[in-house]
Amino acid sequence: VNIMSRSENKSEKMIQISGVNINSLIDSGSDVNLITVDLFFELNVTSYVKENIEFSGLGAAKVSSLGRTECELNIDGYCCTTTFYIVPKDVMPYKVILGQPFLQNITLVFDRGLVNVVSRENGSLLNCLIADVTEEPIAYMPNQQLKDQVRNLVKNYSPVQTKEAPIEMHIVMKDDIPVAQRPRRLAIKEQQEVDTQRHHCGGRSANIY
């Protein structure tokens, strides 16, 4: 089993294991839950399974577990039976490490440096996330006159849109070949202006398109 512990994912939490209060380390980078052998003897645990598994990530050296046991865990009122692997007491700075097998069943809520645990089986998380929001964004203003001024500014606000923008566009030709356009039909007003000029020029007939 490979345990990769990342320090940025660690948080301390006071928990209760089999009636014993102990400070634990919450480590989302750990693949298993760990407990030291000295704490195991303090608990009211009647049995354990001898199982040797090699761990890495707890310092530079590799560590082998002494066995596996199940304990009653109570954290923030959430109770469950959790499997722990027993390790020598000097291999980690905490007596208990809660890893992914436990964390995948709960939700962690971080509030001002404190860690709160919420079970996914109840709706307690909804109460934690409820916040009072006022519908009036200027309710904090103590002066009624200031409130009225703000309301009038918002009510009378009229966006000013620029009709013309000082933008010039230059067309750069890739060669000296003239650009030709297909003949186009003149508008009615333009056609009338052309007819008037043609009349002044002697009435010569021409088709203008």
Please tell me the predicted confidence (pLDDT) of residue 136. 56
Residues 152-169 have a mean pLDDT of: 75
Q: What is the pTM of this model?
A: 0.51
Please tell me the predicted confidence (pLDDT) of residue 134. 53
Please tell me the predicted confidence (pLDDT) of residue 84. 92
Architecture of domain 7-128: Beta Barrel (2.40)
Domain range summary for the chain, segments of one domain joined by + = 7-128
Compute the distance between CA of residue 37 and CA of residue 95 in angstroms, rounded to an integer.
8
Q: Who has greater pLDDT, 2 or 187?
A: 187
> Which whole-number Å values give the CA distances from 88 to 11, 93, 153, 157, in the listed order?
22, 11, 70, 72
Q: 3-class DSSP state for residue 68?
A: strand
CA 94 to chain centre: 30
Per-residue pLDDT reduced to its tens digit, 5-30: 444 445 788 888 888 899 988 888 88
Q: 3-class DSSP state for residue 73?
A: strand
Q: Who has greater pLDDT, 201 or 36?
A: 36
Longest dimension (CA), the chain: 123
Query: Which span out of 31-35, 43-47, 151-155 was modeled with the highest average pLDDT?
Result: 31-35
Per-residue pLDDT reduced to its tens digit, 123-144: 444 444 444 555 555 556 667 7
Q: Who has greater pLDDT, 83 or 142?
A: 83
